[in-house]
Chain A
Amino acid sequence: MTTTEERATEERPIGFGRMQRKEDPRFIRGKGRYLDDITLPGMLHGAILRSPVAHARVVSIDTTAAVAHPGVQAVITGKDLEPLNLAWAPTLSADVQAVLATDKVRFQGQEVAFVVADDRYAARDALELIDVEYDILRPVVDARRALEPDAPVIRDDLEGRTDNHIFDWEAGDKAATDAVFARDDIVVVSQDIVYPRVHPAPMETCGAIADYEPIDGKLTLYETTQAPHAHRTLYAIVAGIPEHKIRVISPDIGGGFGNKVGIYPGYVCAVVGSIVTGRPVKWVEDRSENLMSTSFARDYLMRGEVAATRDGKILAVRTHVLADHGAFNATAQPTKYPAGFFHIFTGSYDLEAAHCSVTGVYTNKAPGGVAYACSFRVTEAVYLVERMVDVLADELSIDPVELRLRNFIRPEQFPYQNKTGWEYDSGEYETAMRLAMDMAGYDELRREQAEKRERGELMGIGVAFFTETVGAGPRKHMDIVGLGMADGAELRVHPTGKAVVRISVQSQGQGHETTFAQIVAEEIGIPPEDIDVVHGDTDQTPFGLGTYGSRSTPVSGAAVALVTRKVRDKARLIAAVMLEARPEDLEWEKGRWFVKGDPAQSKTIAEIALAAHGTLDLPEGVDGNLDAEVTYDPPNLTFPFGAYICVVDIDPGTGVVKVCRFVAVDDCGTRINPMIIEGQVHGGLTDGVGMALMEIIAFDPEGNCLGGSFMDYLIPTAMEVPDWETGHTVTPSPHHPIGAKGIGESATVGSPPAIVNAIVDALEPYGLRHMDMPCTPARVWAAMEGRPEPPV
């Protein structure tokens, strides 16, 4: 069941199976081409002056000394951008964000001025010479106080704005849910749960190189972006540059995790810098800039409630969320859903009713919120429901696995309509749960735990079961700033039978050059090594919305499968001419069309490709190539799921949590490359350890960011994580062309509740029912002392 077994049988597949990655040979030689590796002739370097305070009026900015500094080519402030109508730019959530501050600064680290200089040292030197006078204002740091009547109004740039309220949003049936909760024959548990602000912190920070060519008016923009096509359209709209004159190139990306979806002020500044100087301008943020100013994740303050019968049948879940969006509403999610897909908080359970309400507020913190492999807030939803189920298990004194088994949506209920509007496509939840229990030796673990407790040792076993919703669209329901969430693919089979497939999504390490070649290979029989995958360049690829929300395989993967089938169908028409047979008399076998009943009469794809480009008299309506193009509009999302079991030991003397074992059973439907899938799971599990044990972007009462470097924002190393134990089941998606569901974010979604459930379980002797992340030694110690305080 593990990938080790698969390895023996699937070494060099023509199609699905374990194979080494096609992109690796350049990376292991140090020959990747990341943004900061690119040097253009005459290129200048940009640096950003940032606000040292969280909330202040900008009284004056004096750039005289900076402009005079040797090597400085330009200093740009918000006042310079105003005439260009670029001082503010639209966000992905119908708000605006300051590119360079003009009136106020609204979070520590906000962009104030941009220096362009001959080299990165001179640019940094000049920042020190800019004199900004600030009139300090009281900041709003605690989201709970953002709506108080005397709270300072952060967004007084917005006309008529008198408070810090952004939106109210709800899903589910409030009346029906309240009716369940009003019953007197049930058990109700409730719990305040914080999902703290964290940061994706990809190892490569964000950056851009803008190269504006004044003669033909063409802007070539190299960017660390997960969504090059959406960026191109947005630049056309924002900067007024005709879209055909913009080329966005996303080179090799050193990790994204949702951090590289939005357009950051630094990118816009690089564009302006290039237009102003007439030379290419590179801007790359440093680590503190990345942590303090680019898209954070989570920051949800949740109140969860569960209603259940006394014998453990969960009837209803309801929740209210206070969502801290920071100083500008710049979350990236489908327009209709300001809380992303949080309304999947009904989890993997068959409920009678459910309701959530979410209130979004401004605070004096960096903008963002939808990032860090969150599948558009599924992380928060799964964490809430999986913590709440454990709270209920504690209340009812039922084993948490048993409680889940009693409430799972059963296989025959799929497609399952949940109470907040989702249609779950397929699932075999109990099978996955029982496999995880077998792999972990669940009953034996409980016996071991009982023995350890006798000896005063703190061992915890945590269980989580998640259902994800990934692969957005459908486009009629889902768009980002009006762009429908669909993806294009284009396949060309060259005359010699080699191929190129061009896709609209962009890898940040997921291995698209391999996975997408394998999809083509599976569908048409050309070996993956003979298929070039082109991505990350808007001049070379069809339009599409990009890679985030685990949507590459569910959407672009489907597009690639369908475009390959289209080519296969065309090949059939050509093969029929070649074989002097009717197309309907031909049968497909991977790699060739043959005459039914006479398999020796066949034409391979390579033979057909040569004929298509050659002199063969082609049938009516068939043009002389073996190419096709599609745009895939998903009919529904896909719903990957998984069962996770975590074992922790806690040192009663120090509060240090050690994750001893982690068993992860994932079901992502059809598996394309098990090695890559396992890698995606491993990475997400490590994210989970980070969030559960150490990661938090906190602020002091003045709004100073307390997680602005890797000295303060801690990320797991090899010492904090165990050797992962992975397994899988396969429940294909019925509506996806190849049955694949996506795997990129499952483990990040599913692991935090498993770890926290294990910690709370370990601390049961202390009477603990809940503690919030991050479970640092100090916070665990406080919980053991009876002070399980929230982190914010």
Chain B
Amino acid sequence: MQVTMTVNGAEVSHDIEPRVLLVHFIRDVLALTGTHWGCDTSNCGLCVVLLDGEPVKSCTMLAMMADGHDVRTVEGLARDGTLDPLQQGFMEEHGLQCGFCTPGMLMTSRALLDSNPNPSEQEIREAISGQICRCTGYATIVRSVQWAAAHPAEPDSADSDQPVTDSEVSA
């Protein structure tokens, strides 16, 4: 079957088996391996991507169900080479160790901050409660999201920090 969707701003169209999961479509067909898989049962949240801006577990969706929709993965988080504040926050606050849950955590947190730019600690914990991290104990993830909330990307924000560019971070 032909499936067509927008992924990270670009339209993609492929002929796939109807049973192919969205996570496998993203990873195996589009070769976007930043989205991970971890459990089969919708418990771990490694596979979270944004579907029309809402976080979904891509292991529990068929790729066909995303037909005509807008999908955003971790690879689409940085814009024009500028890191999302969440990406910067996770580095600042040690919000990752092995990095395997990180893409899912980032995408869920992006959706949270899009709807609630200044979440409380409890709201952050609730937002990521459908996801498992075995390394960090979550406190540094909470701090990372708080860092991002305090350093929004919008140029009109109260915080005057310049966004960090890709090249600066890699240096």
Contacts and interface: CB of A to CB of B under 8 A. Distances in A.
B34 A31 contact: yes
Given A24-B91, A682-B140, A723-B139, A32 B99 contact: yes
Given A287-B40, A683-B136, A710-B41, A718 B100 contact: no
Nearest to A45: B28
A95 to B, nearest CB: 29
B75 interface: yes
Contact of A287 (B38, B90, B98): B38
Nearest to B106: A28
Contacts of B132: 203, 710, 715, 717
Interface string B18-49: 01100010011001111111111101101000
Nearest to B127: A718
Interface stretch (A295-303, A352-360, A673-681, A698-706): A673-681
Nearest to B35: A30
B58 interface: no
Contact of B97 (A119, A510, A711, A718): A510
Interface string B74-103: 110110000100010011101011111111
A754 B43 CA distance: 28
B129 interface: yes
Closest 4 CB pairs of A and B: A30-B34, A509-B98, A254-B100, A27-B99
Interface string A15-35: 000001101111111111010
Query: Interface residues of B: mostly helix, strand, loop or mixed?
Result: loop
Given A252-B98, A678-B140, A686-B136, 16 more contacts: A25-B169, A30-B73, A30-B77, A121-B17, A202-B98, A203-B46, A204-B36, A205-B38, A678-B94, A683-B136, A683-B137, A684-B137, A709-B41, A710-B44, A715-B132, A718-B141
Contact of A682 (B19, B103, B139): B139
16 contacts: A23-B99, A25-B170, A28-B83, A30-B75, A30-B103, A204-B100, A679-B94, A681-B137, A683-B135, A684-B137, A686-B134, A709-B41, A711-B41, A717-B129, A718-B124, A718-B142
B156 interface: no
> Most B CB atoms within 10 A — which of A205, A510, A679, A687?
A679
B161 interface: no
Contacts of B103: 30
Contacts of A287: 38-41, 44
B78 A24 contact: no
Contact of A286 (B40, B100, B137): B40
A685 interface: yes
B78 A203 contact: no
A718 B19 contact: no
Interface string A241-276: 000000000001111010000000000000000000
Contacts of B101: 203
Interface residues of A, number: 59
Interface string A503-516: 00000111100000
A255 B100 contact: yes
B136 A682 contact: yes
Contacts, number: 176
A254 to B, nearest CB: 3
A25 B91 contact: yes
A36 interface: yes
B97 A511 contact: yes
Contacts of B121: 723
Interface residues of B, number: 62
A238 B41 CA distance: 36
Given A254-B99, A509-B99, A679-B136, A719 B38 contact: no
A303 B27 CA distance: 50
A510 B96 CA distance: 10
Contacts of B39: 287, 709-710
B137 A685 contact: yes
Given A287-B38, A679-B135, A203 B98 contact: yes
Contacts of B33: 30, 34, 36-37
Contacts of B38: 203-205, 287
Interface string A91-121: 0000000000000000000000000000111
Interface of A: 20-21, 23-32, 34, 36-37, 39, 119-121, 200-205, 252-255, 257, 286-288, 508-511, 529, 675-676, 678-679, 681-687, 709-711, 715, 717-719, 721, 723-724
A65 B159 CA distance: 65
A718 B138 contact: yes
A203 B134 contact: yes
Contacts of B44: 203, 287, 710
A118 to B, nearest CB: 12
Nearest to A291: B39
Contacts of B32: 30
A509 B140 CA distance: 14
A20 B91 contact: yes
B166 to A, nearest CB: 8
Contact of B87 (A29, A32, A286): A29
B133 interface: yes
Given A203-B132, A509-B97, A27 B102 contact: yes
B43 A710 contact: yes
Nearest to A724: B139
A219 to B, nearest CB: 24
Nearest to A253: B98
Contacts of A255: 97-98, 100, 134-135
A679 to B, nearest CB: 5
Contact of A203 (B100, B128, B141): B100
B147 to A, nearest CB: 12
A676 B37 CA distance: 25
Given A709-B41, A711-B43, A723-B121, A254 B90 contact: no
A189 to B, nearest CB: 33
